[in-house]
Amino acid sequence: MQQALIEISEIGRKYVIGAETIHALKSVSLQIKKGEFVALMGPSGSGKSTLMNILGCLDTPTSGTYILNGIHVSEMTDDELAEVRNKEIGFVFQTFNLLPRSSSLDNVALPLIYAGFNKQTRHEKALKVLESVGLGNRVDHKPNELSGGQRQRVAVARALINEPSIILADEPTGNLDTKTSIEIMGLLEEIHSNGNTIILVTHEEDIAQHAHRIVRMRDGIIEDDYLNENIKNVSPRLAALREKGDDFEIL
Ligand SMILES: Nc1ncnc2c1ncn2[C@@H]1O[C@H](COP(=O)(O)OP(=O)(O)OP(=O)(O)O)[C@@H](O)[C@H]1O
Ligand SMILES: [Mg+2]
């Protein structure tokens, strides 16, 4: 049997604020295999972002265990955690989280600084990834000189720059119109077809339909977890977009 890439067991995360304790995650168990494309859904406040932050090693659970690629995350040193975050996991956020005064190229190249590449290599790699998301002609633009969809593509390029195996996307289409959302989902599908594992948070059923598996949360627990039977129905729409030349190549 294939070992799970991500294996969390009875994860809890509580926040204590004054006299109040908030159980953002009560007890969540989940296994995700390499190469899966999972949509995480659920009402506002149900714990989706909290779970994503734990999966991405940005936050630690207050109870339960997390085994990532066979290693107990709680036993990793700070340096090991930083390395996993930088090299194995790419993040994409709803609000893009780009540096406002930096060009697309510099935003995308940023994670390479921590990975220890020299400037020339950083620029070459960043340019290549920007080209792969269709932004070869926007490398010197700053975020406020780009459309929302272009900003998110810069963010996706930044997430891809270290060739991570896992992409975590928290509402990546939350600030985009329908057409641009479909473009970004097309991009995530391309990344998935290259062998990456993708976990995507979304409120929108349409967007979740791009995923192969849907996990629904409520009040800090998983209430449903099933394979997406409709996945085949999505392809014709994307195929139509591609025919119109609205799609772009990745890597
Ligand atoms: N840093 C924090 N301190 C205290 N409570 C928090 C903190 N972060 C999240 N919470 C609480 O934990 C619960 C889960 O929050 P979370 O952000 O995971 O929800 P979500 O499912 O991502 O919601 P949304 O769809 O609105 O983004 C919420 O009740 C929230 O108020
Ligand atoms: Mg959230």
Please give the chain's pLDDT, 251 residues, in tens: 567 999 999 999 999 999 999 999 999 999 999 999 999 999 999 999 999 999 999 999 999 999 999 999 999 999 999 889 888 999 999 999 999 999 999 999 999 988 889 999 999 999 999 999 999 999 999 999 999 999 999 999 999 999 899 999 999 999 989 999 998 999 999 999 989 999 999 999 999 999 999 999 999 999 999 999 887 544 444 444 435 443 333 32
- In three state form, how does the secondary structure of 229-247 look? CCHHHHHHHHHHHHHCCCC
- What is d(CA 226, CA 214) in angstroms, rounded to the nearest whole number? 6
Q: Which atom of ligand 1 is nearest to 53's Cα?
A: 18
Q: Is the Cα dihedral 27, 45, 225, 195 positive or negative?
A: negative
Residue type, 59: D
**DSSP letters of 98-145?**
--TTS-HHHHHHHHHHHTT--HHHHHHHHHHHHHHTT-TT-TT--GGG
Q: Is 49 in the pocket of ligand 1 (CB under 6 A)?
A: yes
Q: Is the Cα dihedral 14, 4, 44, 98 positive or negative?
A: positive
Q: Is 48 in the pocket of ligand 1 (CB under 6 A)?
A: yes
Q: Is 216 in the pocket of ligand 1 (CB under 6 A)?
A: no
Burial 234-249 (b: 16+ CB within 10 A, else e): beeebeebeeeeebbe
Q: Is 46 in the pocket of ligand 1 (CB under 6 A)?
A: yes
Q: Hey, what are 52's tokens?
A: 């994503």
Q: Which atom of ligand 1 is nearest to 42's Cα?
A: 21
Q: Which pLDDT does position 233 carry in this prediction? A: 47
Domains and CATH numbers, the chain: 36-60+77-244 (3.40.50.300)
- What is d(CA 171, CA 54) in angstroms, rounded to the nearest whole number? 16
Q: Is 1 in the pocket of ligand 1 (CB under 6 A)?
A: no
Residue type, 168: L
What's the residue count for the chain? 251
CA dihedral 66, 69, 74, 75 (to 10 degrees): 150
- Ligand 1: residue of 22, 217, 223 to mutate (most ligand atoms within 8 A of CB) is 22
pTM of the full structure: 0.88
Q: Please give the backbone phi and psi of residue 36, each rounded to the nearest 5 degrees, phi first.
A: -80, 155
Which residue lies with its CA nearest to atom 30 of ligand 1?
45
Exposed/middle/buried for 175, CB within 10 Å: 0-12, 13-18, 19+?
middle
Which residue lies with its CA nearest to atom 19 of ligand 1?
45
Q: Is the Cα dihedral 92, 207, 215, 13 positive or negative?
A: positive
Ion ligand 2 residues within 5 Å by Cβ: 49
Q: Do 182 and 190 touch, CB atoms closer than 8 A? A: no
Considering only CA atoms, which of 158, 154, 148 is closest in space to residue 179? 148
Q: Do 133 and 156 touch, CB atoms closer than 8 A? A: yes
